[in-house]
Structure 1
């Protein structure tokens, strides 16, 4: 059985556009997933990248066009200039870490946070929003409050593991058994083919 480490950022538009396709692939191929939220700004700086706010205008212009193309292609509602972006990713990341420890549909929770940013104009650093998203995904919000220390510790460890695994952006998928790496939601078809070959 293949295992996928999924390095993600809870404010990444590209993670949002991935939707539930990773989960569908895992189900199709009998693979398992470990969700590893990371601080994307630190990941960029650690691996030679640049935060979106510091990128050249030509890069930002193309990014906007590509996001629009992909949201149209995937028929996913998307506000290219969300009301709450950028925003502190740590609280929502801690919630995901706590949910994964508790067990349940972590993919639905991840997608809930991403949808909140990019389609619902909600602030995922707000405790009330976090609680609502967790409840909607079937989790008790209290687990996030009770798991703050572990969440912070795991969040930092995820960053180190991402760098060690060769990740430098999100979404970034690593198949543990083969060390095959896939960067971007537009590489999910290649991940599908790889899993089929195992």
Structure 2
């Protein structure tokens, strides 16, 4: 069992804004990470949430302001309205699952490369060429974009079921081996403190 189960969506702006801080926190504490991409829209429907487009206008406006503030605070390039969002998150998620099984590359780097492609580089992360590029730059065989599609689909669906069962309702969402739950990139400092034994 991993020290941190990381539930996320490759379309999530807040997963993008997490950058590589999860990996830095894990490395600091010698913790392992299990990457679990999931269908965030399906998760919303299962846990009482709703996609951004279906939320009240006040929530939509606040979301845009908050994303702008967070990206500025973190010094991260960010497009509030990406050209290719929303798009089909399944292909990029399957690639992450295949890369996780294959090993040999930087899995956290791959996740961030895909998220960055969507939120900062105006690329369609459902595009095979974009996924291959992200795989290659993260040290993986770009051919993983075409392999293990059945296993990828099964794991992707299983991740959603596990997320619902374990109390996940958004992304990014981090669960430790002692079932402490942390929702949002702005809770990574709390995760850090918990792993250090400083949180009650």
TM-score bracket relative to the smaller structure: over 0.9
| 2: CA distance, partners of 1:90 / 1:81 | 20
**Paired residue for 2:121?**
120
TM superposition shift of 1:2: 6.5
Helix, strand or coil: the match of 1:7?
Answer: strand
Which residue matches 1:169?
170
- Residue number in structure 1 paired with 2:49: 49
CA–CA distance in structure 2, aligned partners of residues 70 and 37 of structure 1: 22
Partner of 1:143: 144
Which residue of the partner structure matches residue 190 of structure 2? 190
Question: Over aligned residues, Cα RMSD in angstroms?
Answer: 1.2
Q: CA deviation at 1:144?
A: 3.0
> Where in structure 1 are there 5+ consecutive unaligned residues?
none
Seen in structure 2, the aligned counterparts of structure 1 residues 2 and 92 have a Cα distance that, compared at 3 Å, is closer
Q: Any conservation in 1 of the 2:2–2:34 contact (CA below 8 Å)?
A: no
Worse-matched range after superposition: 50-59 or 138-147: 138-147
Deviation of 1:145 after TM superposition, in Å, equals 1.2
1:129 aligns with 2:135: no
Distance in 1, Cα, partners of 2:67 & 2:144 = 34
| Partner secondary structure for residue 50 of structure 2 | coil
Note the residue ranges of structure 2 that are not aligned, 5 or more in a row: none
After TM superposition, the score normalised by the length of structure 1 is: 0.97
Number of matched pairs: 197
3-state SS of the aligned residue for 2:196? helix
Could you say what secondary structure the match of 1:197 adopts?
coil
**Contact in 2 for aligned 1:2/1:195 (Cα 8 Å):** no
Which of structure 1's runs of 4+ aligned residues deviate more than 4 A?
A: none
Structure 1 residue 94: deviation in Å? 0.1
Residue range with higher mean Cα deviation, 132-141 or 65-74: 132-141
Q: What is the Cα deviation at residue 105 of structure 1? A: 1.0
2:58 corresponding residue in structure 1: 58
Contact 1:2 1:30 in 2 (8 A): no
Are 2:8 and 2:172, in contact at CA under 8 Å, matched by a contact in 1? Answer: yes
Deviates more, 1:141-150 or 1:115-124: 141-150
1:146 alignment partner, SS class: coil
2:85 equivalent in structure 1: 85
Provide the rounded CA distance (Å) in 2 between the counterparts of 1:2 and 1:97: 15
Paired residue secondary structure (1:128): helix
State the alpha-carbon separation in 1 of the partners of residues 12 and 18 from structure 2. 10
